[in-house]
Each structure stands twice: as structure tokens, then as C-alpha cells.
Amino acid sequence: MTTDLFDNVPDIHPSQEAMAEGAALLRGFVGPLESNLIAALRDIVVEAPFRHMVTPGDHRMSVAMTNCGSAGWITDRSGYRYGANDPETGKPWPAMPPLLRDLAGRAADRAGFAGFSPDVCLINRYVPGARMSLHQDRDEQDFGAPIVSVSLGLPAIFLFGGLKRSDKPRRYRLEHGDIAVRGGPARLNFHGVAPLADGEHPLTGRQRINLTFRKV
């Protein structure tokens, strides 16, 4: 899946690492698009700033979040859901830039999921100490589409488990520019992120940005 956005991008051949049937890591797949992605994200955050959402159990998430696309993922004391409008502004979430949608489609295609065109992108900001507990992505209506996750900034330890919460997760180090794709038999595997270690990245500073593309 390519458009003229990628006509001048060098043909990169990142390494591909299988995590399970239907799940793969594409090392360094973002390549030279990193600066353009950061610029696009800055524009999104101006419209829909990062915020720390609250779970139904009244837990304030350590990860700050925002969204772009036709809907956004929301959690509060009433539950988890997708909504067309940002609850803090009452306005629609920012549109997903073609650059982001096309990158996700190319990554999915490389991992064996052709034709992926996400309508939602969750944007997570991790600072040192922030984490994401093991969970399944079950709030979407379409489990047939993969989930594409882009890592920018500080490295993180990705915890990738099985279909049961009790399955011991394997640990994968995600570097700046890596993309994880999960679909098929691995679509509902439990996964999370270990507490982020401190550090400094030239593009993002003391933080990690994660873009998670989904078909709601």
C-alpha cells in the first residue's frame, strides 16, 4: 500500500522478527519518516492535548493519551469505549494524517495483512516510570483486522503474552522506529509495557510515543 507520500523514501529492508503466529516485529521500519511523524503528531496534540485518563476502577493511568481518526478510545469511571468526539473539547478528534494511515498500511502488508486501512490511532505518551499493564484489545468491533503499533523515542520493554492472562509474557525491546503488528491468531493476545526506563532521545526527549492503529 503506497502513495506519493512514499515516492521519495529509500527502499529500506528492515529485519522482521516473528513473535507468534500472526505477530511480528518490523525493526526500524519507520526509517527516514521519523521527523515527519513527529511533526504530524505535534499538530494533532495542539487540537487534542495529551491527558491522563481514569479507568472504571478509578485508577489514573500513568500513560498520557490522545487520539486521531474517525473516533478515539476513551476510558473513564463509566467504562471503556470509542467515541467520535473528544470529551474534553466536545469536538471531533483530529483527522488522521495520510502519512500515518499509509505507514500503518505498509507495515501491515509487510507482516502479511494486506489491505489494512485503520480508522483510529491511539497515541500514548510514556515518561520514565510509566507502564501499561497486561491487557487485551477487545473494544473494537472488527477483530479480523490487525493492530499496528509504532514506537518512537525512548526504548521500551514490550510484554507479549498469550490468550490467557496467566500466560507468562515474553519480553521484547522496542527501539525508536520499530513497528509491532498483531493479527490473526495473535490479535487477542495479552500484552503490555514494562515501566519505562529513564533516558534522553534526540527527537522526543525523556519520553516514548506509541501510535496504535486499529480498525474499529
For residue range 46-100, list pLDDT tens digits in order: 999 999 999 999 999 999 999 999 999 999 999 999 999 999 999 999 999 999 9
169-175: long-range contacts (C-beta < 8 A, 24 or more apart)? Answer: 169/134, 170/19, 172/17, 172/19, 172/25, 174/25, 175/27, 175/28, 175/151
3-state secondary structure of 107: helix
Confidence (pLDDT) at 13: 58
Q: Give Rg (Cα) of the chain.
A: 16
Confidence of residue 6 (pLDDT cuts 50, 70, 90): very low
Topology annotation, domain 16-214: Jelly Rolls (2.60.120)
Confidence of residue 155 (pLDDT cuts 50, 70, 90): very high
C-alpha–C-alpha distance, residues 215 and 146, integer Å: 8
Please give the average per-residue pLDDT across 158-178, as a whole number: 97
Please give the average per-residue pLDDT across 13-27, as a whole number: 92
Say if residue 14's pLDDT is above 80. Answer: no
Say if residue 4's pLDDT is above 90. Answer: no
C-alpha–C-alpha distance, residues 209 and 155, integer Å: 10
- Listed residue (112, 108, 135, 109) closest to 214, CA to CA: 108
- Cβ(76)–Cβ(67) under 8 Å? no
C-alpha–C-alpha distance, residues 198 and 191, integer Å: 21
Instruction: Give the chain's length.
Output: 216
Look up the pTM and report it.
Answer: 0.92
Quote the cell numbers at residue 35.
521527523
Confidence (pLDDT) at 87: 96
Q: How far is CA 70 from CA 9, 42, 73, 178, 214, in A?
A: 27, 18, 11, 25, 11
Strands, E, within 84-196: which ranges? 120-126, 132-135, 147-153, 156-160, 170-174, 179-182, 191-193
Q: How far is CA 196 from CA 3, 44, 125, 206, 211, in A?
A: 35, 24, 11, 10, 16
